[in-house]
Amino acid sequence: MSVIRCTAINKFPISAGGSRTHDRKLRIIERATRTTPTQVEWRIDTSRRNWLLTPSRLLGSSENPAASPGFDERVRVATQDQDFCIRALADLNAILRTLHDLIDAQEGERRRD
């Protein structure tokens, strides 16, 4: 199973546009994650420069979960669970489809304005 680090969405680079744009992009990613039916719970860790969208199972409860001492071990254990990996991969594909649809809808609204 791979952990996806989101530094940018091709159509909406994270670094462009300041904090308002940054907040808008985060809301889109959160909405895609929240509205997509999934088999495992997902979280977005924005505590570092590169955002991390990952199954909640991999994150601890620390301030910076991906940098916590137990993160690598949780990833190692999770990759041994084939059922979890299959479900998480299916979820990730669904989340990315939802994200794509949300971005397309937003672009369509902008073209009409």
- pLDDT bin (cut points 50, 70, 90) of residue 100 is very high
Compute the Cα dihedral for 8, 22, 72, 4 and give only its sign.
negative
At residue 6, does pLDDT exceed 50?
no
Over the chain, what is the mean pLDDT?
A: 80
Q: How confident is the model at residue 45 (pLDDT cuts 50, 70, 90)?
A: confident
d(CA 112, CA 110): 5
Mean pLDDT over residues 57-80, rounded? Answer: 82
Rounded Cα–Cα distance for residues 22 and 36 (Å): 21
Give the predicted TM-score (pTM) of the model.
0.75
Break the chain into its structural domains and give their ranges. 4-112
% pLDDT > 90, the chain: 44
Amino acid at 25: K
